[in-house]
Structures are given as structure tokens and as C-alpha cells.
Structure 1
Amino acid sequence: MMTAVTFKQFIEKNPKCLESLPKALQGLWYDKKGEWDTAHEIVQEDANDADSAWVHAYLHRKEGDLINARYWYRRSGQSESKVELDQEWEQIASSLLSKVNQAWMQMN
């Protein structure tokens, strides 16, 4: 099972994002790599997905565009975050990885 901590370590050790990851996790991957534009492009393409909308909100909050961030928080069904950005990244990653881990366990 992957946690936010192990996901971060995986990102640090691997230069290339796994295309098999859900788009929202790909967005977090590229954000952690310092590639905000790529992260934004990925989640924007998947705009109807609540998880991608959540990452989209986080990215706009990080950018300082709070009006746009609030729009995406509403689209995602999540409350607007007030915690530090690193903490929000971990919260989102933990939630998304929990879904992936749960789906993987059901398949096996």
C-alpha cells in the first residue's frame, strides 16, 4: 500500500511520471516535481472528475489565484483549504492513494 510519504519518495526517485496513475495523482506528481504548468494541464483536461478538480483547486491556491481556487474547490465537493500548501498536498495525496489502494485490494 502506498502512502503520501512513500508516494513522495517514489516521485523523488523516478524522473518520469507513471501514465497509469489517475490524472489527479499525475497532477500531484508534476506539482511535486516543480512542473506547475504540466500539473495544471493534466487536471484541466480531466475537469469533470472531482479528484482532478480538487488538485486543480490546490494548484490555483498555490498560484495565489484564490477566486479560481474557490471555484475548483466547489467543483470538487471539498472545503477550501486553510492549511499550509505542503500539508494540503499530503492530505490530497493520502485521500487519492487511499482510493487507489482500496481499488487494488478489491481486485486481488
Structure 2
Amino acid sequence: MTDLLATLSNAAPAAGLAPPLQALWWAAKGDWSKAHNIVQDEQSADAAWVHAYLHRVEGDLGNAGYWYRRAGKPAASDSLEAEWARIASALLAA
């Protein structure tokens, strides 16, 4: 995860990064719309998990709940920063 964080000063995520990780990268850069556009049409559980996180960031907890269920993950209740780190760590380890 440290490597992913180290790239946030770049203009774009590293080439070859999976879409859910690209979306997390853009979310960390503060570009919610770009992050959302990346995952909204992806069908994987990983993308659904990131999608849930993004709707939680947005404050739309009902929509976030739908995407947590699609991802097979419990709805997060910790800080957004902790959730971002947890998702990033899990996706990077996969």
C-alpha cells in the first residue's frame, strides 16, 4: 500500500493497475467523479467494494449499502481513511 500512496504525486496511476485500484488512486487524489466512472460499469466484487466506499465518501449510505452487499462485504463503520487503506491492502495482496 505504501507504494500506491507514493504514486499520488504522479499525474496518473501506474500503468497496468487494475480498475478498482485505479479508482482508489483517483479517490485518494480527490477526484470522486473519475474514480466513480472507473468502477461504475465494472462487474467484479472488488469494483463493487470500491464503489461502496465511494458512495460512503459521497454520503449516500443507502447506495453504499447496496454496493457493499454486491461486494459481499459488511458496511464499513470506521473512518474513510481506514477503509481506503483496508481496501487498498486487500486488493494489492490479491
- Normalised to the residue count of structure 1, the TM-score between the two structures is 0.83
Q: Which residue of 1 is the match for residue 91 of structure 2?
A: 96
Identity %: 48
Which of these residues, 8, 22, 45, is aligned with residue 5 of structure 2?
8
Q: 1:19·1:26 contact (CA, 8 Å) conserved in 2?
A: no
Deviations 1:20-48 (A, max 9, x none): 111100100110111100000000021x1
For the residue of structure 1 that corresponds to 2:40, the secondary structure is helix
1:14-29 pair list within 5 angstroms: 14-29=10-25
Question: Are the counterparts in 2 of residues 62 and 85 from structure 1 also a CA contact under 8 Å?
Answer: yes
Distance 1:7 1:83 in 2: 21
Unmatched tracts of structure 2, length 5 or more:
none
Instruction: Check whether the contact 2:7–2:13 (CA below 8 A) recurs between aligned residues.
Output: no
Which runs of no fewer than 5 residues in structure 1 stay unpaired?
A: 100-108
> Which 4+ runs in 1 deviate beyond 2 A?
none
Aligned residues: CA RMSD:
0.9
Query: How much does 1:16 deviate?
Result: 1.3
What's the counterpart of residue 54 of structure 1? 49
**Structure ID, larger Rg:** 1
Match of 1:43 in 2: 39
TM-score (norm 2): 0.95
